[in-house]
Structure 1
Amino acid sequence: MSLLQVKAVTHSYNSHTFLKWKEPSKKVLTDISLSIDEGTCLGLLGTSGAGKSTLGKVILGLERPQQGQVLFQGHDIYTADKLTRQKIRRDLQVVFQDSYSAVNPRMTAESIIGEPLENYEKLTVAEQKRTVIELLERVGLSEKDLKKYPHQFSGGQLQRINIARAISLKPLLIVLDESVSSLDMVNQTLILELLSELKKDFGLSYLFITHDIKVAYSISDTLGVLEKGELIEHYNSKDLFFSSEHPVVEQMRSSILAEHPRFRSLPMRSNRS
């Protein structure tokens, strides 16, 4: 059984004019079905407005869909009993794009990372501090960062704080919503390497939401393509993305043809022939 199953999810937003007249609802997700197995990463590709973040919210339990189901370890996250929902909240974590908005600016790194531990674990003060230090070190920071506030970190460092918080409860699945898109190329690479290491070491599963094909390809095991609220392609192997004949995928792929090794022209070979 898959760790996560999304079954025929459809969702719309109602809108109102300034006169409060109800306009026709805007469908943002249409009959979405996908799954994520334990220890794997599904990269969800799509342009701005494709519905990626809305689907992420639906999976996290933040936006109840009008139709369909979201099953986590076989439990419907919207109809499960209270104890099951509490366990799901522990095992399903998120890292957002904006590392600064995701934290309380008045909290230290120690408090930010320790908050989930306070909610779910019964640790002594010393045990919790030791655990937070271990988490800091695991994401490439150190004990000297414990008492720092968000404004004292760079964007890449603060995203490491958010990742440390996300893994603090040893979850099964982490939703990463454009989690490296606001970082420069160097920090993108470092964070992706960290995420890959954590995935391997802790047996994590990821839903990696992004518009960046190269980033998705570097970390994902499987790929899905969302376009105008519809899952137009879902590949069990990420390499199948490069052989798809779907016109939307071909258009997306054309933006990286000059850079991807599989599509580079080889003039030296042609000269030899």
Structure 2
Amino acid sequence: MSLLDVKHINHSYHSNRFFKWKETSKKALVDISFSIEEGSCLGLLGTSGAGKSTLGKVILGMQRPEQGQVLFQGHDIYKMDKLTRQKLRRDLQVVFQDSYSSVNPRMTAERIISEPLENYEKLTIGEQKSRVGELMERVGLRERDMKKYPHQFSGGQLQRINIARAIALKPKLIVLDESVSSLDMVTQSLILELLKELKEDFGLSYLFITHDIKAAFTISDRLGVLEKGELIELYDSKDQFFYSKNPVVLQMRESILAEHPRFRSISKSEMI
């Protein structure tokens, strides 16, 4: 059994224009199906407006789809009872793109990271403080930074705090929704390396939602391509993606070469 099974998800956004009979709808997701196995990372590529964030919300239980199922550890997340939902919720975490809006600006790093521990673990104050310190050090921060507030951290440091919070309960799956796209190239590389290390150390699975092919290649085991709400391609290896003749994929690959003169001679070995 797969850790996550997404089956035939369909969803539309509806809008009314003055009169009911003028209602219009836009298909956001069209018959999306895929699975994620334990310990693996599926990179989901797509341009802006492709439906990536909507799909992420559906998987996280934040947006009920019009049709289809999302099965996490065999349970339909939209049909499970409250107790089952609470138990499984600790195994499904998320790291969003905007590290600043993901945290309460009036909370210290210690309180931000300890939130899930307070909800699920029965720890003494000393045990909780020790656990938070260990988590901060694990993501490359210093224990003495626990009392700092979000505005006292850089964007990369704050994203490390979000990652520490996400791994605090040792979840099975983390949805990474454009989680490195707002960072500079150096910081992005460091965060991606951190995510790879955590994946190995904790046996994590990731759904890595991104528009950045190079970031996806760094961390993903499999790749999917979302275009206008449809999962048009699903590749079991990076080689398959590299050799694909799909026009959308070809355009994605060409976009890498146009970013900067330095990358215009990028080779297959550099992508892989």
Where on the TM-score scale, by shorter chain, does this alignment land: which range?
over 0.9
Letter in 2 for 1:183: L
Separation in 2, partners of 1:238, 1:39:
17
Q: Which amino acid aligns with 2:266?
A: H
Q: After the TM superposition, which residues 205-244 of structure 1 pair with which residues of structure 2 at under 5 Å, given as runs?
A: 205-244=205-244
SS at match of 2:90: helix
- Give the AA of the match of 1:137: E
Distance (Å, rounded) in 1 between the aligned partners of 2:111 and 2:205: 26
1:260 aligns with: 266
Secondary structure, in 3 states, of the residue corresponding to 1:39?
coil
Letter paired with 2:54: T
Q: Summarize the Cα distance change of 1:252–1:139 in structure 2 as closer, same or farther, 3 Å threshold.
A: same
Q: CA deviation at 1:45?
A: 0.2
Q: Please tell me whether residue 100 in structure 1 is matched to residue 106 in structure 2.
A: no
| Equivalent-residue separation in structure 2 for 1:259 and 1:218 (angstroms) | 18
1:49 aligns with 2:49: yes
Deviation at 1:263, TM superposition (A): 8.5
Change (3 A) 1:148 1:259: farther
Of 21-30 and 192-201, deviating more is: 21-30
Looking at structure 2, the residues matched to 230 and 238 of structure 1 have their Cα atoms a distance apart, in angstroms, of 20
> Unpaired segments of 5 or more residues in structure 2?
258-263
Separation in 2, partners of 1:20, 1:213: 43
Counting aligned pairs with the same residue, the percent is: 78
In structure 2, give the amino acid aligned to 1:27. Answer: K
1:245, distance to aligned residue in structure 2 (A): 1.2
Pairing 1:195-206 to 2, within 5 Å after superposition: 195-206=195-206
How many residues align? The count is 263
Larger radius of gyration: 1
Report the counterpart of residue 146 of structure 1 in structure 2: 146
2-structure distance, mates of 1:128, 1:20: 55
The question of 1:32 aligning with 2:38 is answered: no
2:89 is equivalent to residue 79 of structure 1: no
Structure 1 stretches of 4+ with a deviation exceeding 6 A read: none
Question: Deviation string for 1:53-107 (max 9, x for gaps)?
Answer: 0000000000000000000011100001222111221100000000000000000
Structure 2 CA distance for aligned equivalents of residues 40 and 57 of structure 1: 20
3-state SS of the aligned residue for 2:223?
strand
1:172 aligns with 2:175: no
Kindly tell me: are residues 194 and 240 of structure 1, through their superposed partners in 2, closer, same or farther at Cα, counting changes over 3 Å? same
**1:47: how far off?**
0.2
Q: TM-score, normalised by structure 2?
A: 0.94
Could you tell me how far apart the structure 2 residues matched to 1:5 and 1:238 are? 21
